[in-house]
A and B are shown apart, each in its own frame.
Chain A
Amino acid sequence: MSHPYRAQKIAFAFLLLATLVILVSVGFVVVVIVQKGAPAVNWQFLSDIPRQGMRAGGIFPAIVGTAYLVAGAIVFALPIGLLAAIYLSEYAKDNALTRIIKLAIVNLAGVPSVVYGLFGLALFVVFFKFGVSILSGSLTLGIMILPLIITASRESLESVPQSFREVSLSLGASKWQTIQHIVLPNAIPGILTGTILGVGRAAGETAPILFTVAAFYLPQLPGSIFDQVMALPYHLYVISTQVPNVDEKIRYGTAFVLLALVLFVNLVAIVIRYKFRMKKKW
């Protein structure tokens, strides 16, 4: 084999190896959790409260808490995020203000999650006096997933062909009528995908909820949005590091539930994206 082709063989082997390293590691993580966690998960585990200082029993309050937090985050982030995306896609001109807005979004996306936790603590818990509560936690998570929703929605809106807008306007429809009846309906798949990915992200984050809502041990379900809750990611952290002698099965079981939830949500988003790409009429 001549020299350049030998070099190519070696290089390509390395590239394949790099890819395999990543894939095998992902596979390993998933397999380990499924193998050791799935056996622990049964209806009792999912519906029971933690017992014996969380060394036994189930994770029901944590699941409920996560559900409330994620719902709250979406209720906050989706309307604001979608309208912000509409602004960027349909109204913003190519000027300095728009560049600053886009820069702000890039920055929000890059802020470390623990800094969001600090922010949530300072603004919602202390300044607005909401206290450590579902309200504080949801709002903090909501701001955290805002850039995700804005970006996904904006891309979806921008992919609607400009010709549709021109046709609508030439028939005498107003700009907002065009957005409402032509642009938005055709951007829904992308917006939905972005929202679902936001759900997955909010469900898995620990640092933002550490100081804003998460309760170490709270077997009762919350009564109002001003209550604390347990949450799955924080619960996993606690039983892995703060509580000694927790049965391995419970740890893996909690990890399994959290991982399954997040992966399922992401899979749904990927499937929606794929199906709508196939079905696209234009």
Chain B
Amino acid sequence: MVVFRVENLDIRFGSAQALRGVSMDIVSNEILSVIGPSNSGKTTFLRMLNRMNDLQPNFRMGGSVTFGGTDIRKIDVERLRRKVGMVFALPLPLPLSIFDNVAYGPRMHGVRGRVALAERVETALRHAYLWDEVKDRMQESAFKLSGGQQQRLCIARTLAVEPEVILFDEPCSGLDPISTAKVEAAMMKLKQSYTLVLVTNNVKQAARVGDRTAFLLCGDLIELGKTDEIFTAPKDKRTDGYIRGMFG
């Protein structure tokens, strides 16, 4: 089932063009990896899906992006962002307790009552593989957690609003290998219930985790296909060059 349909997407910030004529479908319960060198437009593309680009000044869009059949510009942006969650590159806990961090989203959406909130928080933390490590210190400040734990907290925070899609913007760039492995394991499990889009600078991570992989270069979508095919027999010379580390 098609979750996102992107057709001829052009994105400009003022006079700078970030994306040019990108078209693709994102289907449910897949992990789509998006790779490419810096400034290729990967993050811009990702932020389009939950309309975070709206926050940038001079943002202009051409083409269309539909979510579940409806143009995302016509969907109420707060409802879109509930359904399409995001985990950022650096762990960004809010200056609140662990519990309040995870409960923040549901609270803003009107979930009241300690029991209801506590249930959501626990479920989310379990799915992010963090529950066991924090269940006894829910009232502590989130800043007391390690980097890897904070990032899993951010995943839990996103899960707590019960989205359909989760966007990951280079989520492991600040993490050590063990934390990275934990985050990747969480992602593989999450695939069963959610659709994931992963932007990553780490080509090997894309190969490990993604079902399909998209390669962006300077704002153009060069190639999109099953991860196995892309990594063993890429159709475009540039894809091949990037994967083999010839440039980046």
Interface residues of A (CB under 8 A from B): 93-94, 163-164, 166-174, 177, 181-182, 186, 281-282
| Contact of B55 (CB < 8 Å), options: A169, A174, A177, A282 | A169
Query: CB < 8 Å: which of A166, A173, A281 contacts B108?
Result: A173
List which B139-177 residues lie within 8 A (CB) of chain A: 141, 143, 154, 157-158, 161
CB neighbours of B94 from chain A (8 A): 164, 167-168, 182
User: Whole-angstrom distance between the alpha carbons of A170 and B104 in the complex?
Assistant: 12
- How far does the Cβ of A171 sit from chain B's closest Cβ, in whole Å? 4
Q: Which residues of A contact B78 (CB under 8 A)?
A: 172-174
Residues of B with C-beta under 8 A to A173 = 78, 104-105, 108
Q: Are B108 and A177 in contact (CB under 8 A)?
A: yes
A166 in contact with B105 (CB, 8 Å): no
Are the CB atoms of A181 and B108 closer together than 8 Å?
yes
A142 vs B111: C-alpha distance when bound (angstroms): 40
Q: Are B108 and A170 touching (Cβ within 8 A)?
A: no
Q: Which residues of B contact A169 (CB under 8 A)?
A: 52, 55, 81
**B103-117 to A contact mask, C-beta < 8 Å, 1/0:** 011001100000000
Contacts A169-B81, A170-B85, A172-B108 known; A164 to B161 CB distance under 8 Å?
no
* Cα–Cα distance between A174 and B79 once the two chains are bound (Å): 10
The answer to whether A186 touches B82, judged by C-beta atoms less than 8 angstroms apart, is no
User: CA separation between A172 and B109, bound complex, in Å?
Assistant: 8
List residues of chain B with CB within 8 A of the CB of A166: 52, 55, 88, 92
Chain B residues with CB under 8 Å of chain A are 50, 52, 55, 57, 78-82, 85-86, 88, 90, 92, 94-95, 104-105, 108-109, 141, 143, 154, 157-158, 161
Contacts A167-B94, A182-B94, A281-B95 given; indicate if A172 touches B82 (C-beta within 8 A).
yes
Task: Please pick, from A168, A177, A281, the residue contacting B141 in the complex, using a CB distance under 8 A.
Answer: A281
Dominant secondary structure at the A interface: helix
A190 to B18, CA, bound (A): 38
Closest 4 CB pairs of A and B: A172-B82, A171-B105, A172-B81, A173-B108
A167 and B88 form a contact (CB under 8 A): yes
A171 touches B95 (CB 8 A): no
Contacts of B158 in A (CB 8 A): 170-171
Whether A94 contacts B50 by the Cβ 8 Å rule is: no
For B50, the chain A residues whose CB sits under 8 A away are 170
B161 interface neighbour in A163, A172, A182, A282, Cβ under 8 Å: A172
List of B residues within 8 angstroms of A164 by Cβ:
92, 94-95
Contacts of A186 in B (CB 8 A): 95
> A33 to B31, alpha carbons, bound, how many Å?
75
> CA of A186 to CA of B95 in the docked complex: distance in angstroms?
8
Q: How far is the CB of B82 from chain A (nearest CB, A)?
A: 4
Give the complex CA separation of A171 and B157 in angstroms. 8
B108→A94 contact, CB < 8 A: no
Shortest A96–chain B CB gap in Å is: 15
Give every chain B residue within 8 A of A171 (Cβ-Cβ): 81-82, 85, 104-105, 108, 157-158, 161
Report the Cα distance A169→B80, complex, angstroms.
Answer: 11
B163, closest chain A residue (CB): A172
* 12 A-B contacts (beta carbon < 8 Å): A164-B94, A166-B52, A166-B55, A169-B55, A170-B50, A170-B158, A171-B157, A172-B108, A172-B161, A173-B78, A173-B108, A281-B95
Q: Which residues of B have CB within 8 Å of A172? A: 78-82, 105, 108-109, 161
Quick one: which of A163, A170, A181, A281 contacts B52, CB cutoff 8 A?
A: A170
Closest residue to A182 on the B side, CB-wise?
B94
Assembly CA distance A168 to B141 (angstroms): 17
Closest A residue to B50 by beta carbon equals A170
Interchain nearest-CB distance for A188 vs B (Å): 12
Given A171-B81, A181-B104, output 7 extra A-B contacts at Cβ < 8 Å: A163-B88, A163-B92, A169-B81, A171-B82, A171-B157, A182-B94, A281-B143
**In the assembled complex, how far is the CB of residue B85 from the closest CB belonging to chain A, in whole angstroms?**
7
Q: Closest CB of chain B to A40's CB: distance in Å?
A: 49
Within the complex, which residue of B79, B81, B141 is in contact with A170, where a contact is CB–CB below 8 Å?
A: B81
B100: min CB distance to chain A, Å: 10
- In the assembled complex, how far is the CB of residue B36 from the closest CB belonging to chain A, in whole angstroms? 22
Q: What distance in Å separates the Cβ of B83 from its nearest Cβ neighbour in chain A?
A: 8
Question: How far apart sit A177 and B141, CA to CA, in the bound complex (Å)?
Answer: 21
Instruction: Output the nearest chain A residue to B83 by Cβ-Cβ distance.
Output: A172
Q: In the bound complex, what is the Cα–Cα distance between A214 and B131 (angstroms)? A: 65
How many angstroms from the CA of A174 to the CA of B102 in the assembled complex? 17
Residue of B nearest to A170 (CB): B86
